[in-house]
Amino acid sequence: MSNKKKIYPVEIELTENFLEKNPTIKGFYENGKFNIPISENIPEESAKSITSIVEDLNPRELVLFNPLVEAINSLAEIDNFKETEKPVQEEEESEEAYLLRLKEWEKENDKIFKSANGTIRSFNGSLTKSKKEVKEPYLTISKKIDNLYNFLKDFSDERKKKLGENFSGLISKQEEDKKRKEEEAKKLELEQIKNLQMKNEEANEKLQAAAIKTSYADKVTEITVFYNQQDSKIPSLNENGLLILKEEINQKVFNFENFGDMEQATLESIEKSMRKNILSAIDSAISAGSFENIVSEEQAFVQEKEQPKEPNNDYEVFSNTLIRLNNAKSQIDSIKVDFKDERLAKLNVTLEGQFKLLSDNVQKLIDFTEKKNKIYNELN
């Protein structure tokens, strides 16, 4: 693209006083004419539009417009700015050395590219400002000014496009770097989401494990409460009633299907031990044969079963609950496991630990119930 300029003379009267105060204008003024140097790269029609506008300007507006003409000429030279050839890694060149040369190439061309872009941005800003200042007092020439503005803006946009083409390698690399950083950020975000999901899964597993432990404790409580209730009936039954009670116990079935193998084995062991103890107590009571003070033993057993005694108030509910919990804990603490088979030696330790855990849980229930009972008593 040529950098040559063509002179377009415009007749305009300027005083010596004005020219002395505006030396930039004086340098282009000769024999009553203002000589406008316009780059040959600007189309002839547009150059004539510039001269036509200058003819209608007063001296003050000429001062504002003149720098734009100079800026147009500078803008036309931007097409000459091109990036240098992108370096290629040589055969014996190390990766580190090549990257340094590539970085230097990018730095050098980026400086030129940004400088040219800065010129375009500066021109656009000055163009908008000058348009407003020149157009305001001359609405009659607004159409010409708009046309010139549109031309200059298009010319500026074309220069920006051309600049992008001339520095396509640099822009391509910067876009690749930007894309890589976005992909890395996205990858990091996905990893963070994955880690969060893993933490949520771990939390759910812990909640499920806690639910299993709670269910296990509930089942142990169910077993304990049942056998405590049967144990409390023994003193009030005659021989026939005891035989009926024994049959009822033998027919009782507990469901352990929802537990794992270890929990199921422990629960079965607890239940068998309690069943054995209660049946032994019934057999001992039958062998003792002391039923003189028992009235209508069989009938009393049936009556008690059909119409269980209910507490008269909440105080008795607390009292009955605490008695049963304490009985349950005593019975659990009395359980002793001592398998002789070496293959079951580990089970001794496991069951003792489970019974200890069970006893501790029942004690927690006792403590909790006593606390609530105390609060209730204080309120009433």
pLDDT tens digit sequence for 107-150: 999 998 998 888 888 878 877 776 676 566 655 566 777 777 88
| Separation between Cα atoms, residue 140 and residue 37, nearest integer Å | 26
Encode pLDDT of 234-273 as tens digits: 887 888 888 888 888 998 888 888 788 888 888 888 899 8
| Separation between Cα atoms, residue 54 and residue 372, nearest integer Å | 99
What per-residue confidence (pLDDT) applies to 376? 79
Instruction: Report the predicted TM-score, pTM, of the whole model to 2 decimal places.
Output: 0.36
Q: Are 209 and 217 in contact (CB under 8 A)?
A: no
Which tokens sit at 102?
């590539």
What per-residue confidence (pLDDT) applies to 107? 92
Task: Please give the angle made by the CA atoms of 250, 256 and 259, to the nearest 5 degrees.
Answer: 160
Whether 195 shows a pLDDT value over 50: the answer reads yes
Q: Are 286 and 348 in contact (CB under 8 A)?
A: no
Which tokens sit at 13?
């009267």
What per-residue confidence (pLDDT) applies to 322? 84
Under the banding of pLDDT at 50, 70 and 90, the label for residue 200 is: low
| Separation between Cα atoms, residue 172 and residue 191, nearest integer Å | 28
| Separation between Cα atoms, residue 269 and residue 220, nearest integer Å | 11
Q: Are 237 and 297 in contact (CB under 8 A)?
A: yes
The residues pairing with 10 across neighbouring beta strands, listed in sequence order, are 34
Whether 364 shows a pLDDT value over 70: the answer reads yes
The residues pairing with 7 across neighbouring beta strands, listed in sequence order, are 37
Which tokens sit at 136?
């305001």
Q: What is the mean pLDDT of residues 179-185?
A: 90
Q: Could you write out the DSSP letters of every residue in 143-164?
A: HHHHHHHHHHHHHHHHHHHHHH
